Chain A
Amino acid sequence: AQSVTQLGSHVSVSEGALVLLRCNYSSSVPPYLFWYVQYPNQGLQLLLKYTSAATLVKGINGFEAEFKKSETSFHLTKPSAHMSDAAEYFCAVFDFGNEKLTFGTGTRLTIIP
């Protein structure tokens, strides 16, 4: 079964610094991968998705992620952190076998002023 591992349950970066949230996937077939963001007391919002097209995927709010098959990674980056980026971020992989979306355990991003 497909799975994702998010390295680092908590990440802190200074405002204006690079944001890097790590996600590694396990999949026996070319995966569909997603990043979601959850702000406090809200539902999950889709940031971006990879569905076997371009390996560099651009999302909302200045985020992007690069699919690297050789490293089985799909890390999320943003060049310059903003205070409004403070949230929890979830990586997810679509399992074609049982047609379900499997989420990672999440990374809580804190922005230091």
Chain B
Amino acid sequence: DSGVTQTPKHLITATGQRVTLRCSPRSGDLSVYWYQQSLDQGLQFLIQYYNGEERAKGNILERFSAQQFPDLHSELNLSSLELGDSALYFCASSAGPSYEQYFGPGTRLTVT
């Protein structure tokens, strides 16, 4: 158990819909990261927050957004969902940007 929690574990929704994925970092960690893992794209970094502020951006689509709240939990919002958005979404946390990251168990999103 990494100490990072993610909810929900599974999510099935239809194209065009909007979903919110939630992540609680390890106690004391200030950085939160979001990743997307799919068979064709591999593990892709989406976005990083540090203590509530956006710190780095990766291959995140404009339809996707995220935020980190004062209690340090984070949410990833995916809107106008397409079939290609079906993937595993991981959250990770670390003490700071250059420290090792600890991953949550992931949310499996299926868009039908």
Contact = CB atoms under 8 A, between A and B. Distances in A.
Contact of A94 (B55, B58, B92, B98): B98
B26 to A, nearest CB: 12
Q: Which of under 10, 10 to 19, 20 to 34, or 35 or more describes the interface residues of A?
A: 20 to 34
B67 interface: no
Contacts of A49: 100
Contacts of A45: 2, 103
Given A46-B102, A100-B58, A106 B45 contact: no
A99 interface: yes
Interface in B57-112: 58, 90, 92, 97-98, 100-106
7 contacts: A32-B98, A36-B103, A46-B100, A46-B102, A94-B98, A99-B48, A100-B45
Contacts of B55: 99
B11 interface: no
Interface residues on B, range: 20 to 34
Given A43-B104, A44-B43, 7 more contacts: A43-B90, A43-B106, A100-B56, A101-B45, A103-B45, A106-B42, A106-B43
Nearest to B45: A100
Nearest to A101: B101
A10 B58 CA distance: 27
A36 B33 CA distance: 16
A100 B105 CA distance: 20
Contacts of B42: 103, 105-106
Contacts of A100: 45, 48, 56, 58
Contacts of A98: 56
A65 B86 CA distance: 34
